């Protein structure tokens, strides 16, 4: 995700022309019957759809809980949010934040890779230590505070 200098791989070199980027971050509980095979189908479809729509992000699944950060053009993200709220494969969707900012992508190349739930805190800490963008620092700090304040621990841990 980051090169040896700590910069996100594939980051925009022309920092003077940062695009407006919309992001949505949430957690949710997997519906009964959503097994590893179903999660695999979600990831496969997400990678295909998102690439075509300029959406990147990260999907984490563990202990029956999804955690997802998606970022891209506002209209595309809004359309995906509507699909997510209508998707019966998860429920109890908790919005942890969304906004539009002019900044680099937090996950420029990470098209919905799946990581272990225990790794999410390390992933976010890693991104926090590697970014020099103040908006990215603020956004990552907010997510870590959300996680530490409990929504992930109180949802779906069985």
Ligand X SMILES: Cc1cc2nc3c(=O)[nH]c(=O)nc-3n(C[C@H](O)[C@H](O)[C@H](O)COP(=O)(O)O)c2cc1C
Q: Return the HEC string of the chain.
A: CECCCCCECCCCCCHHHCCEEEEEEEEEEECCCCCHHHHHHHHHHHHHHHHHHCCEEEEEEECCEEEEEEEECHHHHHHHHHHHHCCCCEEEEEEEEEEEEECCCCCCCCEEEEECHHHHHHHHHHHHHHCCCHHHHHHHHHHHHHHHCCHHHHCCCC
Instruction: Give the residue, chosen from 80, 96, 123, 140, that forms a contact with ligand X under the rule CB under 6 A.
Output: 80
58 belongs to the binding site for ligand X (CB under 6 A): no
81 belongs to the binding site for ligand X (CB under 6 A): no
**Least Å distance between CB 42 and ligand X?**
5
Nearer to ligand X, 58 or 140 (CB): 58
Q: Does residue 39 contact residue 131 with C-beta atoms inside 8 Å?
A: no
Scanning 3-11, 42-50, 94-102, 116-124 for contacts with ligand X by CB under 6 A, the matching segment is: 42-50
Instruction: Give the residue, chosen from 50, 56, 76, 131, that forms a contact with ligand X under the rule CB under 6 A.
Output: 50
Instruction: Give the residue, chosen from 10, 40, 45, 99, that forms a contact with ligand X under the rule CB under 6 A.
Output: 45
Segment 83-142, which members bind ligand X (CB under 6 A)?
83-84, 87, 89-90, 112
Which residues lie near ligand X (CB under 6 A)? 42, 45-46, 49-50, 59, 66, 68, 70, 80, 83-84, 87, 89-90, 112
């Amino acid at each position: 995700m980051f090169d040896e200098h700590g910069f996100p791989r594939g980051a925009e070199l022309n920092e003077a022309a940062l695009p407006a980027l919309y992001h949505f971050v949430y957690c949710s509980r997997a519906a009964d019957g959503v097994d590893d095979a179903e999660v695999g189908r979600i990831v496969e479809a997400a990678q295909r759809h998102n690439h075509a729509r300029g959406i990147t992000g990260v999907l984490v699944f563990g202990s029956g809980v999804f955690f997802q950060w998606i970022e891209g053009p506002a209209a595309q993200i809004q359309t995906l949010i509507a699909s997510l709220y209508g998707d019966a494969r998860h429920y109890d969707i908790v919005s942890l934040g969304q906004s539009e900012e002019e900044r680099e992508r937090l996950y420029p190349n990470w098209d919905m890779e799946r990581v272990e739930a225990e790794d999410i805190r390390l992933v976010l800490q890693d991104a926090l230590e590697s970014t020099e963008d103040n908006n990215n620092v603020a956004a990552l700090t907010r997510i870590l505070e959300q996680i530490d304040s409990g929504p992930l621990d109180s949802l779906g841990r069985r």
